[in-house]
Amino acid sequence: MKRLLYVTALCCSCIKGGAEEPTPFTVWSGWNHTWEMLSHRVSLIRVKATSDSTAESGILGGDWSTGATWSDSVGYRIHSQTISSHQLSAQQGETILTIGPEGTASTMVDIDGFDADLVLLSGFEITTDIEQPDEYPSDYDPALGYTSRGFGMSVSLNPNGNVDVQGSVRWGPRDRDDMNAALAVAESQLTIWWTAISGIEEEHGFHMVKGQELAHDPPYSEQNGLREDLPWSGTGIAGISNFDLRLYDTDGGDGGDYLRSFGIEMVPSPDASVPNSISAEILTSSALELGTMSMNIEAQTVWIPLETSINSIAVDSLEGIHDIGVHTVSDISGS
């Protein structure tokens, strides 16, 4: 049986720089989803930056989020910067990976001769509601999702100038025998959106690697994310080329857990100056906490200095609450 069931990629037409009226493009600088009431299985996570001061946000847990047993809503924060520049041009892409029990998949995308200097993430979607292999048990619906050990993704330019795309979606058993049997053979779909950028004259990277044991004093343990100050200066745009949010049993077991809050964020400044910090988390605090868990965070971020006197940079930090499902959110929607 194939574990990487299929890989597809779609690149939109190149956005030409240097024209009298440059076409804008958007750089994503992170997100956070936090369930309002309880922690849940992961069935769907979706976040995507767009270039019209909106974003896409989506989430589903198991039947304790959908209303079948209980219902919940989610708080979101999504950050991006939209750039209009004669200096820069961009090409956008979409890559779809099918990930099996091994937890990882990768592919290469040909960007058709576009002379990229850098490629950054624009968003992603994880979904478990896909066709499953023959050995998948009939008594568990994949749309209910699974307990998580974290997820991550990476985009980078290879020596041939094309885009290497990697993704990981990791599940681990917990307290449901039917779910545990299913996740041992389950396949999930990870869609990664990315933006390749040409014309960059200067860039600075920052590599975050941090971890900690999560507090375990239920109900609703006081758990906190991780944060680091950013060393950059000036005005410009901040992006993410890879991140990995890892959750694991503190005692060394292979268990997953129900997620309450997760994301990685660089909150852009309204005047396009450097974000103060990068923060990230994958937390499990809830009314009932089954596992004693730890988290490890790794991320590679990039700062591209740009003069705002000759480049237009519009900053969007969208925040609100919405019900389950996929929503288009904006600074005036609040939902």
Kindly tell me the sign of the dihedral angle through the C-alpha atoms of 125, 127, 132, 135.
positive
Strand partners, 264: 31, 280
Strand partners, 242: 154, 300
User: How many C-beta atoms surround the C-beta of residue 163 within 10 A?
Assistant: 24
pLDDT in tens, the chain (335 residues): 223 332 333 333 344 444 468 889 999 999 999 999 999 999 999 999 987 789 999 999 988 676 566 789 999 999 999 999 999 999 999 999 999 999 999 999 999 889 999 999 999 999 999 999 999 999 999 999 999 999 999 999 999 999 999 999 999 999 999 999 999 999 999 999 999 999 999 999 999 999 999 999 999 999 999 999 999 999 999 999 999 999 999 999 999 999 999 999 999 999 999 999 999 999 999 999 999 999 999 999 999 999 999 999 999 999 999 999 999 998 743 33
* Cβ-contact 286, 260 below 8 angstroms: yes
Q: Report the candidate in 74, 82, 89 with the shortest Cα–Cα distance to residue 18.
A: 89
Distance CA 261, CA 207 (A): 22
- The 8-class DSSP code of residue 177 comes to H
Q: Is the pTM of this model over 0.75?
A: yes
